[in-house]
Each structure stands twice: as structure tokens, then as C-alpha cells.
Amino acid sequence: MAKTFISAFLCLAMFGSMVLASPECPSPNGRFASGDQCDAYTECQDDVPVPKLCPDGLLFHQRTKATGECTYAPYSTCKERARLQPANSTDECPRQFGFYPNGDNTKCGVYRNCAHGVASLTKCPEGLAFNEETYQCDWPDLVANCNAEAFLGFNCPAADPVDGIAPEVDVSPEGELRYYRHPQTCKKYFVCVNGHPRLYNCGKYLAFNSQSKLCDFYNKVPECYALLKEKQRLKAEKQQA
């Protein structure tokens, strides 16, 4: 009878703890996404829930069933949790934290890195534009709010007409590729993809060969080799003067 009483007492204790456990805490300890708000979470300690908010501009990412952290938007998984806390903006930043375009679609290679409401300007590698959706530097024609032509200072020439009719631009995934030397330097060239330019660089000792559509040695590209020799001659004259 004593054993029966002890068993009943244990069952009652277990049942009681189950009843008292907070529905906001799937596990006694951990961090858990909160409701429909993506920048809110619940921190549980011994089944006691404490509602918390991420810093403004960061979102809560549920890494495992009981762990998570506040991180930047592209690295979180909000899904249907679309609601956010009101923005605490400053003159420099839409929110306290995050990466944001500079607001000029002709200067897409510069973006704002905001921390505690203070922005520092950061540049993408030459020819690339900041993509707010991925937080990465990308081809300018793939960035929604970037004018690739104005940003790169180059407009892709229209394709040569066939029987007097201008061909349509190929917008398939494979795309339409056409190559053009940079008008100001032999080291760089543009690849026109679906009618939009992308800038490439051959590097210090190579020049773009319009015939092969590849980077080549200067002596294999006569027009660029002549420019190089003239530049070297002027430099030598300046040093002797």
C-alpha cells in the first residue's frame, strides 16, 4: 500500500508540473520565437517565460528547437512572422542596426552599415552593387533599386539588325552575352547580359582582346600595345625633364 501511495504521489507531482508549465516554453530552458513578431522571442528559465525584443533592425532566428539568436534579416527565418517593432530611426539609419542602400540608384556600390543608429559607408568591389535582399555585393542588373547603366557609365549597344529588323533581347536564364572593351582603359571590359552591362577587370598586366573576347598579353592586342608604349614613352620623358 505504501508503494501504491508513493507512485500516486509521483504521478500527481508530474501531472502538476505539466499543468503549471507555461505554454510559451516548449522546453524548460531556451529561447523561442514569439508569436507573429519576427524580432521578438521568449527566453525561458526553469519554465518561467520572459518576453524579449531583439535590437531594432535585427531579427530572431530559431537555430534549433531550444536555441536562437538575433541576427541580420537575410540570415533569419521569419516565414509568416512578419510583424516588427516600430523603427527607432536616426538621420543616418532607418533602424538602429542593419545594412542599407545609400539611396542613390546611380551609386549602388556604396551602402550604409548601421550600428546603434550610426552609419559607416562601405564600398563593394569595383563594378558590384549592394543587394539589400541578400546583404551581398552583386551584379548591378540583379539589384532591384540600381540603375546599372548610370552606375557603370555604360550603355550596351543595340544588337546588329538582321534583315533590317532589330533582334529581341534574349532574357532566358542563359541570357545574351556581348563583350565590349572599356572606352577608357584596355584593362577593363563590359559583358552585356540581357542588354545590361557588367564590369570585368583583366588585371595589371593584361588587356582585353576584342577578337578572342579574353584577357590577353598587351603585345597580342595591337591597339592596346601602342597605347602602352606611348604611355611608357611619356613617363620616361617626364622623369628625364
pLDDT of residue 197: 96
Identify whether the C-beta of residue 148 lies closer than 8 Å to the C-beta of residue 195.
Answer: no
Q: Please calculate the CA angle 232-237-241 and round it to the nearest 5 degrees.
A: 150
The residue that leads in pLDDT, 158 or 70, is 70
Q: Hey, what CATH topology would domain 98-148 get?
A: Antimicrobial Protein, Tachycitin; Chain A (2.170.140)
Identify whether the C-beta of residue 189 lies closer than 8 Å to the C-beta of residue 168.
Answer: no
In angstroms, how far is CA 203 from the centroid of its own chain? 25
pLDDT of residue 237: 81
The answer, yes or no, to whether residue 12 has pLDDT greater than 50, is no
Q: pLDDT category, 239, cuts 50, 70, 90?
A: confident
Q: What is the pLDDT of residues 82-102, one digit of tens each?
A: 999 999 999 999 999 999 999
Provide the residue ranges of all domains of the chain, joining segments of one domain with +: 30-75, 98-148, 177-240
Q: What is the pLDDT of residues 113-149, one digit of tens each?
A: 999 999 999 999 999 999 999 999 999 999 999 999 9
Q: Which amino acid is at 168?
A: E
Q: pLDDT category, 160, cuts 50, 70, 90?
A: low
Q: pLDDT category, 151, cuts 50, 70, 90?
A: very high
Q: What are phi and psi of 237, to 5 degrees?
A: -65, -40
- 177-240 in CATH: which number? 2.170.140
Say how far apart CA 69 and CA 20 lie, in whole Å: 27
In angstroms, how far is CA 74 from the centroid of its own chain? 8
- Count of alpha carbons within 13 Å of 15, Cβ hemisphere only? 6
Q: Which amino acid is at 22?
A: S
CA–CA distances in Å: residue 203 to residues 141, 171, 187: 23, 30, 6
pTM: 0.77
